[in-house]
């Protein structure tokens, strides 16, 4: 099973939005997301066969540009998964650095936070009031 999520607030990966229905086997998905300075995404995979269980989960943040499109490639490989991000602007494709975030399971609320807070991403939010340290 494969799942992909995005977050409304990048400071601590709050207010997740499911992009790909859990268990969807379609390999290509297109999403229109509201523009902000950064975009945080999470990918998870769980595969089970008669002999083994394969799983991986990761949260990443990328810096974005207002007029660019982005493609995330997620691939299961022996021993884990590999994710890459590509910026598409004016017909040119450029690989974008992924900032790996520390995954966090929320204790009180299913909206999050889903990653450890990082001040580099303060204010990158589509929430009416962006999250800050006092939200923790």
Q: Give the model confidence (pLDDT) of 71-82 as tens digits.
A: 888 887 877 888
**For residue 24, is pLDDT > 80?**
no
* Res 21: pLDDT: 65
What is the rounded distance in angstroms from the CA atom of residue 8 to the CA atom of residue 16?
6
Does 49 have pLDDT greater than 90?
no
Q: Cis omega before residue 9 (within 30°)?
A: no
- pTM (2 d.p.): 0.86
Q: Choose between 129 and 46: higher pLDDT.
A: 129
Q: How far is CA 37 from CA 29, 60, 117, in A?
A: 22, 14, 16
Is the pLDDT at 125 greater than 70? The verdict is yes
94, 116 in Cβ contact below 8 A? Answer: no
- Domain-wise residue ranges, the chain: 2-66+99-135
HSE-CB of 21 using CA atoms within 13 angstroms: 4
Tokens 């297109």 locate to: 30
Mean pLDDT of 118-134: 94
Question: Of 45, 69, 48, which Cα lies nearest the Cα of 58?
Answer: 45
What tokens does 26 get? 């379609």
Asked if 45 and 76 touch (Cβ cutoff 8 Å), the reply is yes
pLDDT of residue 25: 58
């Amino acid at each position: 099973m494969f799942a992909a999520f995005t977050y409304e607030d990048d400071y601590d990966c709050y207010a997740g939005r499911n992009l790909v229905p859990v268990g969807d086997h379609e390999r290509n998905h297109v999403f229109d997301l509201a523009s902000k300075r950064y975009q945080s995404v999470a990918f998870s995979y769980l595969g089970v066969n008669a002999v083994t269980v394969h799983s991986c989960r990761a949260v990443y943040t990328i810096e974005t540009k207002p007029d660019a499109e982005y493609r995330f490639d997620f691939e299961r490989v022996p021993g884990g998964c590999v994710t890459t991000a590509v910026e598409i602007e004016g017909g040119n494709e450029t690989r974008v650095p992924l900032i790996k975030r520390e995954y966090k399971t929320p204790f009180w609320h299913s909206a999050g936070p889903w990653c450890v807070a990082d001040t580099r991403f303060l204010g990158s939010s589509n929430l009416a009031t962006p999250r800050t340290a006092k939200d923790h």
